[in-house]
Structure 1
């Protein structure tokens, strides 16, 4: 009898423990590399310590293919995903994401309501703003000892600056860069791309360097391409290049001219298995202190005004972080803000054309 009771209690303990464990975890999908490390140390671990919810981290390279496949098959195993702004709009419209209208976000430390403290357009129906980041041009300074490149035009000038060029294997940003290099003012880029002639013009500019392009997919690739001297210049996420310079002491230089700025946003996959934990995480990630926790580890800016007051020095190297952010005044002399609504409308057609162009 006593033995049977012990067995029963043991079974009950295992059953309850298993269910507590199942309810006490959360899968968050981000972009890997130095950005993932900054997120893990700046947000994920502190969230685990405060809530007791175990965070499982997975990496991806953007896009909606995996989210779409999970939702359409009913086999959802991702909870929270860090997406690009146009992916948020497309996925929300397709019903791939949870609506967050009723999610209560924390006020700023001084009591300012969240809706007044977040940057304009940082949040949407299915997303909460995370970071402001930029795609920039970068080069290895050992290859340009005199008269180094300094403009977007220089990236496309193979005669003056010979060598391979790294570019992300996507039309997004590449088309914008091509038009800026061809003399289109940033404020007219999307107006120009809204015409057939403008799209042809962008592809024509890309044609001028196509034979010299090395395409990349993951954000960790551009710093490696520069370090291995496989390319003379490359497009890259600004934070990846900053960390290569700051932490790895690589001789890289960022060209801010003509950069394209964008917001990173947290979303919850429709049918997420840990929905309540996912909502708790988004509320935690929306804190000013959480955003600053990332921005003090990698040069992506926070999307709350109050969080900017908390951006200080890098937690390891003690370097001042603000001058390395996309939004620093010195870096903001000639740039373009990504238009997610434009890309949500034109993306399918341009991806089809870009894919065919790459294959030619």
Structure 2
């Protein structure tokens, strides 16, 4: 009897250890964005489930997925990626499919499929935020405040260096809007050779004044250091620098490009079951609203909107800082993910050739 009791105790201890040893590795974009996820998702998820979250960062979490899956050496369980990357990676068979019927309903019982914003649920991805690429400036470093996306490209009117993401996506769209193309017509024009030429011709006008950035933390730093007078940036990074760090930075919403970020699971993720639990937990109504109290990205669920209140400082209202606020949508462009799934390789090849000349 004592022997059996000892065996039982050992077995129970092993089960308890296995449960406590459960973990999930989540790759995101770093900085204030990862912090918002750690506070809203990671910490409460571990507290509720006992599953440890390993947080790792990348300049673009979509990049290592292909290499890891093809090498059969996947270390990422969940990655936070942009919309066009989620669709492309899924089409290439590099992601696990996600049964979105597992996602919790809204507090009033509305099914998740109806509660998420249109497009937020895909075969291999579940959106968490709506964010945007904007441009911003340091009020201490300009004699005249920019108002339109055209001002970003007008170095005669507002002299100084400009910061731009080292990527064709968003850069070409902004160039066309600065050249007078209405947001609704941008992708139709960019589908043509003449439209692409027109975008690059606009970029030519400021090429010698561009400082290129690749990581989301760079634009606020470039602006704070005075290395550029204006820079494109992710809206939440500018909010964090301005509100949390007290930098004199202002967002210009004209010409903003709206996009989703979504959670995906790489094919062959070592902890798929835990990954599914993490995504289910992190994309419920409360968690998405909680993230919006740490950074100014809009929740991907409709039911989360009413729960978005103040920033974590307890005094800053978040609603006006959201890219989806009505006052910020006057000349906004929604990223056309289908366009970029089809054209990404071609336009980035052209972009890189342009950079080299």
* TM-score, normalised via structure 2 length: 0.95
Matches within 5 A, 1:161-180: 161-180=158-177
Once the two structures are TM-superposed, the CA of residue 16 in structure 1 deviates from its matched residue by 5.9
Matches within 5 A, 1:43-58: 43-58=41-56
Q: Residue 26 of structure 1: SS of its match in structure 2?
A: strand
The match for 1:257 among 254, 259, 263 is 254
The match for 2:183 among 186, 191, 200 is 186
Once the two structures are TM-superposed, the CA of residue 296 in structure 1 deviates from its matched residue by 1.0
Q: In 2, Cα distance between the equivalents of 1:84 and 1:64?
A: 8
Q: In 1, Cα distance between the equivalents of 2:222 and 2:258?
A: 22
The match for 1:69 among 67, 70, 79 is 67
Q: In 1, Cα distance between the equivalents of 2:275 and 2:142?
A: 47
> Which residue in the other structure is 2:235 paired with?
238
> Which residue in the other structure is 1:286 paired with?
283
**2:310 is the counterpart of 1:313:** yes
Residues 235-271 of structure 1, C-alpha deviations (whole Å, 9 max, x = no match): 0000000011111110011000010010110111111
Report if the CA contact (8 A) 1:167-1:174 is conserved.
yes
Residues 126-145 of structure 1, C-alpha deviations (whole Å, 9 max, x = no match): 00011000000100001224
Residues 21-41 of structure 1, C-alpha deviations (whole Å, 9 max, x = no match): 55x100001110001101100
The match for 2:343 among 332, 341, 346 is 346
Q: In 2, Cα distance between the equivalents of 1:103 and 1:52?
A: 24
Once the two structures are TM-superposed, the CA of residue 210 in structure 1 deviates from its matched residue by 0.6
Q: Residue 142 of structure 1: SS of its match in structure 2?
A: coil
Alignment length, in residue pairs?
354
> Which residue in the other structure is 1:86 paired with?
84
Matches within 5 A, 1:110-129: 110-129=108-127
Residues 296-325 of structure 1, C-alpha deviations (whole Å, 9 max, x = no match): 110000011110010000122420000000
> Which residue in the other structure is 1:273 paired with?
270
> Aligned-residue CA RMSD in angstroms?
1.9
Q: 1:250 to 1:159 in 2, by over 3 A?
A: same
> Which residue in the other structure is 1:95 paired with?
93
**2:354 is the counterpart of 1:357:** yes
Gaps of at least 5 residues in structure 1 are none
Report if the CA contact (8 A) 2:86-2:124 is conserved.
yes
Once the two structures are TM-superposed, the CA of residue 12 in structure 1 deviates from its matched residue by 7.6
Q: 1:307 to 1:73 in 2, by over 3 A?
A: same
Q: In 1, Cα distance between the equivalents of 2:326 and 2:29?
A: 27
Once the two structures are TM-superposed, the CA of residue 65 in structure 1 deviates from its matched residue by 2.9
Once the two structures are TM-superposed, the CA of residue 64 in structure 1 deviates from its matched residue by 3.2
